[in-house]
Amino acid sequence: MFIDTHCHLSKQYYDDIDSIIAKNKERGVERIIISGCELSEIEESLYYAKKYNDVYLSLGFHPSEVDKIENSHFKMLENFLGEEKVVALGEIGLDYHYGKENRLEQMKLFEKQLNIAEAMNLPVIVHSRDATQDTIDILKNHHVKGVIHCFSGSYEIAKQYIDMGFLLGIGGVVTFKNSNLPKVISMLDLSCVVLETDSPYLTPHPYRGQVNSSQYIPVIALKIAEVKGVSVDDVMRQTTANAIALFDF
Ligand code: NI
């Protein structure tokens, strides 16, 4: 069994969710975690977790939501996090890709949610884009474990996260032509890797141009297997075991 530890499942992206879930299972991707990280999609994510057996949730407020989040929303988030099948808080973090003007507000939103994760003893899914140093500095002040979602940094940065107890979420980027990730992964132990698609985004090669979904997890696993010189089965077993140990599901 493969696990997609990070995807976005919503009617905005897919016409027929039933057929997406069926296709995933055909490809051996039997368990998925939806990242519901915008105010508008949290309730829809909860609906799918109730409807489908092997759909789990990670809920939180993405840094792009920073201007929309008010104090009352944190209470609401805590209530949602108490729901059955919620296995993590996220994705949360820092994103300076489009500018740093709201850096302090983003940091505040990130820290508030890390405090909630600590209090509720939940792992976190961390989104960090062009913000590595701030992310590391903040995480060092919190006793949380979790996944660095869509990791694409250097070996040195990978080591820092791993030494802090984090796993690296590896997705379609590892299959891209100019990606540095294969080299980084070749130097890492598979005990610190989980698989993710971040679908509908980041479709792996050679399917780029199509809408991504969890069914492509084996394509990512195959690339990692090639890089590591092991079998796809080995990658599946190890990454699935890593995810189960972290999310406790
Ligand atoms: Ni995502």
pLDDT at 210: 95
Indicate the average pLDDT of the chain. Answer: 97
What pTM does this model have?
0.97
Q: How far is the CA of 91 from the centre of ligand 1 (A)?
A: 7
Centroid of ligand 1 to alpha carbon of 126 (angstroms): 9
Average pLDDT (14-43) is: 95
Distance from the CA of 125 to the center of ligand 1, in angstroms? 9
CA of 111 to the centre of ligand 1 (A): 19
Average pLDDT, stretch 107-126? 98
d(CA 141, ligand 1 centre) in Å? 24
Question: Ligand 1 centre from 7 Cα, in Å?
Answer: 6
Q: Report the separation in Å between the CA atom of 231 and the middle of ligand 1, taken as the mean of its atom positions.
A: 27
**Chain segment 58-96, per-residue pLDDT in tens:** 999 999 999 999 999 999 999 999 999 999 999 999 999
Q: How confident is the model at residue 39 (pLDDT cuts 50, 70, 90)?
A: confident
Residue 40 has pLDDT above 90, yes or no: no
Per-residue pLDDT, averaged over 97-120, amounts to 97
Whether 225 has a pLDDT exceeding 90, the answer reads yes
Distance between CA atoms of residues 36 and 46, nearest Å: 8
- pLDDT score of 195 more than 90: yes
pLDDT exceeds 90 at position 240: yes
Distance 6 CA to ligand 1 centre (A): 6
Q: Is residue 97 within 8 Å of residue 130, measured between CB atoms?
A: yes
Of 20, 39, 30, nearest to 195 by C-alpha is: 30
Q: Which tokens is 191 given?
A: 């005990």
Token pair recorded at residue 24: 């995933």
Q: How far is residue 134's CA from residue 143's CA, in Å, rounded to a whole number?
A: 16
C-alpha 75 – ligand 1 centre gap (Å) = 23
Which residues does 50 contact at the CB level (< 8 Å), separation at least 6? 85
224 in Cβ contact with 185 (< 8 Å): yes
> Ligand 1 center to residue 64 CA distance, Å?
11
Q: How far is the CA of 36 from the centre of ligand 1 (A)?
A: 8
